[in-house]
Amino acid sequence: MERTYVMVKPDGVQRNLVGEIISRFEKKGFKIVGLRMLQMDRAIAEKHYGEHIGKPFFEGLVAYITSGPVVAMVLEGKDVVTAVRAMNGATNPANAGSGTIRGDFAIEVSRNVIHGSDSVESANREIAIYFTDKELCAYKKILEDWIYE
Ligand code: DAT
Ligand code: MG
């Protein structure tokens, strides 16, 4: 089964959206296989957002993402990378559809509440930043037979 890295950003934590966001992924049928809270520092931010170093918004992004604790998780399921991106909505909440997390809970691109990996390759890279193999749980849920044929 595919895995992806998902993170409730500091604004999501401060705005009491952690439960709502996790609940959406759980209700969809995705399985939480890793979960923790942490405060990111600059080094972790540069690792996570390495592709954006040097862009005009990078310093603001680092200040934002290190401004408070985040909730980091690994979700597992069929085509979960693409599905989570769709559930999160467009990067700029102004373009995110109603019913998506960013569409429903955010207004500005620099306060867009949630992160989701953009590919399986990115997911593997990002998961390794936040979790050791031992911190991820492989387990069977009885409900899976009602979610997958
Ligand atoms: P995504 O988070 O949808 O994968 P991204 O990887 O292009 O989007 O950018 C990472 C984060 O950086 C994004 O969630 C918010 C911030 N960001 C991107 N473009 C921005 C911009 N033009 N101005 C301010 N922040 C931006
Ligand atoms: Mg991205």
52 is catalytic: no
The residue contributing the CA closest to ligand 1 atom 14 is 91
pLDDT under 70 in the chain at which residues?
none
| Predicted pLDDT of residue 17 | 98
| Predicted pLDDT of residue 20 | 98
From the candidates 115, 123, 126, 130, which is the catalytic residue? 115
| Predicted pLDDT of residue 87 | 99
Q: Is the CB of 6 under 6 A from ligand 1?
A: no
| Predicted pLDDT of residue 90 | 98
* CA of 110 relative to ligand 1 center, distance in Å: 7
- On whether the pTM is more than 0.95, the answer is yes
Q: Which residues contact 73 (CB under 8 A, 6 or more apart)?
A: 5, 6, 7, 22, 32, 34, 35, 36
**Strand, coil or helix: 113:** coil
